Amino acid sequence: MIIVKGSIPVKADRREEAVALVQLLAETSRRESGCLSYEVYIQADAPEVIVIWQQWDSVDALEDHFASDHVDHFLDAIPDLIEGEVTSAQFAVQEESWSEIEEPIELPRVQYADNIVLH
């Protein structure tokens, strides 16, 4: 499995436009062969930063994604909305495993806006 984490700092006055653009990219990408997960977040301590978390079943699937028309459209549209440095990291996961937490910690929900809740 390949995991890609990207952070995109956007202009405050164009944040809604940037979020809509990233959400469209995510919706389209989720339908691609090999896409295990494509999630979009707003960074809690920096609401002008959009975080993208992707999981792909192979390098080939990720390369096909990067070569797609919807990624080209996104890359053409996003530069005008960016303010700062975009960062990205890729991780190759060789083995996936889960373990139960023995004593879960209950954290309060924090509501930042009508449609943004931190769990």
Domain that holds residue 63: 2-94+105-118
Does the structure show a pLDDT above 90 at 102? no
Residue 31 lies in a domain: yes
pLDDT of residue 119: 45
Residue 112 domain-assigned (yes or no): yes
Residue 99 lies in a domain: no
Average pLDDT for 84-99 = 83
CATH classification of the domain holding 48 = 3.30.70.100
* In a domain? residue 38: yes
What is the overall mean pLDDT for the chain? 88
Q: Higher-confidence residue: 78 or 97?
A: 78
Above 70 in pLDDT, residue 117?
no
E strand intervals along 48-109? 49-56, 87-92
- Asked if residue 100 belongs to a domain, the reply is no
Total number of domains in the chain: 1
Q: How far apart are CA 17 and CA 28, in angstroms?
A: 17
Q: Are strands 87-92 and 116-118 parallel, antiparallel or unpaired?
A: unpaired
Residue 26 lies in a domain: yes
Q: Is residue 90 part of a domain?
A: yes
pLDDT tens by residue, 6-52:
999 999 999 999 999 999 999 999 999 999 999 999 998 999 999 99
The span from the CA of 38 to the CA of 104, in Å, is: 26
